[in-house]
Amino acid sequence: MGLFSRSTPMGAAPIEGRELILADLDGVVYRGAAAVPHAVEQLNRAANSIRVGYLTNNASRTDSAVAQQLRDFGLNVDVADVVTSPQAATALLLKTVAPGATVLVVGGDGLVDELTKAGFVVTRSADDHPAAVVQGFAPHVGWEHLAEASFALAEKPGQELLPWIATNTDWTLPLERGLAPGNGTLVSAVHTAVQRLPEFAGKPEPAIFESAFERFGTRNALMIGDRLDTDMKGARAIGIASLHVLTGVDRPKQLVAASADMRPDYIVESLAGLHEPYPETVIAKDGTAKVGQARVRMDGPVVTIVDRGDSTINLLRAGCAAIWASGLAIYALKVPEELYADHWL
């Protein structure tokens, strides 16, 4: 059937009309020690015409170390192009605690470097009576570090609650061997002990995006990411366009089930799609979504593939469009496995 049906028209490439690209790192530029295919060449190509900034929730390293890693992959990057969650966390802390105060840090060099540059005194012990706790990911973080944070944050009679800022909520960290626990998992351990939540600085919260907008001088941005709950949700909340690339954490199964607050504007197989014309999505009166030659229809709670078309990525796009436009909860739907089959692992 797809051989005889007309394709939907092609729209502009995702990069067209943008003044700024904001790219996540883990799962977008690299996975562990390996660069993601097509990422370096496409981001360098983008940087020839517009500003490219790199947003990372990973708080374990300094901005200089991140920039050097990206240069080692072949990216044309300066330190000023890197916006980190420790930078955003420090900006939040400065609104609460005066420079010179003692801050208990759970995390690595990325946090220590930014807090020290801002004039804070870093400690690892609750016995030093810190004025705040700042928590971020580092591979060496263990029980004793989480326990010190819990001791410092414990509610004390007659005293105000100690400020607690966490760099990010990422539950997992994509590495070469698979998914590992991320900072959100470590924060959850402290949360269980102290029965309250921190203020978050990284994606999807606005602090890290506002830091980027201020630094790069524009809000006309496209966020590139691999996670719905941080990259896509943050972009949608802050009011910028978003592109989800299938090279990292969230896969087709998560995309078709995405809630309205974390649905991307674009879905691509790799960053090669950044510069390619993007097919338009057409929703017919009967609820059929068409992308390219692929067509997917909602028959009540049943998702029906009308035409597979000639592209697995367009079939996924059409399936997402049909399900999202229906307004129906994903758990109530019957979705064919073919629609969310992962061809991009």
Strands, E assignment, 51-140: 51-56, 82-84, 102-106, 121-123, 132-135
Asked about 26 being catalytic, the answer comes back as yes
Closest CA to 58 of 69, 72, 73: 69
H or E stretch including 303? strand 302-307
Closest CA to 283 of 271, 270, 300, 298: 298
Structure token digits, residue 325? 């436009």
Asked about 310 being catalytic, the answer comes back as no
Q: Of these residues, 24, 81, 113, 229, which one is catalytic?
A: 24
What's the gap between Cα 114 and its chain centre?
21
Please provide residue 26's backbone torsions phi and psi, each rounded to the nearest 5 degrees.
-60, 120
> Rg of the chain's alpha carbons, rounded to an integer?
22
Burial class (CB in 10 A: 0-12, 13-18, 19+), 102: middle
Burial class (CB in 10 A: 0-12, 13-18, 19+), 327: exposed
Q: Of these residues, 26, 170, 226, 307, which one is catalytic?
A: 26
- CA-to-CA distance for 288 and 148, rounded, in angstroms? 55
**Coil/strand/helix, residue 39:** helix
- Ramachandran category for residue 295: left, alpha or beta (phi over 0 → left; psi -120 to 50 → alpha): beta
- CA-to-CA distance for 89 and 9, rounded, in angstroms? 44
Catalytic positions: 24, 26
